[in-house]
Structure 1
Amino acid sequence: MAGRPIDARGWVFEVLDMDATEETWLPISGVNTFTHNPGENEETVDTTVFDSDGMYEQDVMQRGASLGLEGLYYVDKATGERDPGQAYVDTVWANALGVDSRGMIRWRHKSQTQWVVWEATVTPGEQGGGNNDKTSWSASFTRCGAPSTLAVTP
Structure 2
Amino acid sequence: MAGTTRPIDARGWLFEVQDLEAETETWLPIAGIDSWSMNPGENEETSENTAFDSEGYYEEDVMQRGASITVEGKFRIHKVTKERDPGQAYIDGDWTNRLGFDSHNPIRYRHNTQTSWVVWDATMSPGEQSGGNNDKTAWSATFRRNGKPTTAVVTP
Three-state SS of the structure 1 residue aligned to 2:147 is coil
Q: Take 1:94 and 1:4, find their aligned partners in 2: how far apart are those partners?
A: 38
Corresponding residue for residue 49 of structure 1: 51
TM-score, with structure 2 as normaliser = 0.98
Runs of 4+ with deviation above 4 angstroms: none
CA deviation vs aligned residue, 1:93-123 (integer Å, no higher than 9, x gap): 1111110000010010000000010000000
Q: Take 1:128 and 1:62, find their aligned partners in 2: how far apart are those partners?
A: 35
Report 1:1-154 matches (<5 A).
1-2=1-2, 3-154=5-156
Q: Take 2:24 and 2:41, find their aligned partners in 1: how far apart are those partners?
A: 33
TM-aligned CA deviation for residue 65 of structure 1: 0.3
Letter in 1 for 2:74: L
Letter in 2 for 1:136: A
Three-state SS of the structure 1 residue aligned to 2:109 is strand
Letter in 2 for 1:135: T
Three-state SS of the structure 1 residue aligned to 2:113 is coil
In structure 2, the gaps of 5 or more residues are none
TM-aligned CA deviation for residue 49 of structure 1: 0.5
Q: Take 1:21 and 1:73, find their aligned partners in 2: how far apart are those partners?
A: 27
Q: Take 1:91 and 1:68, find their aligned partners in 2: how far apart are those partners?
A: 18
Three-state SS of the structure 2 residue aligned to 1:21 is coil
Q: Take 1:131 and 1:38, find their aligned partners in 2: how far apart are those partners?
A: 36
The RMSD of aligned alpha carbons is 0.5
Three-state SS of the structure 1 residue aligned to 2:21 is coil
TM-aligned CA deviation for residue 70 of structure 1: 0.2
TM-aligned CA deviation for residue 140 of structure 1: 0.2
Three-state SS of the structure 2 residue aligned to 1:145 is strand
In structure 1, the gaps of 5 or more residues are none
Taking only the aligned residue pairs, the percentage that are identical comes to 64
Three-state SS of the structure 1 residue aligned to 2:14 is strand
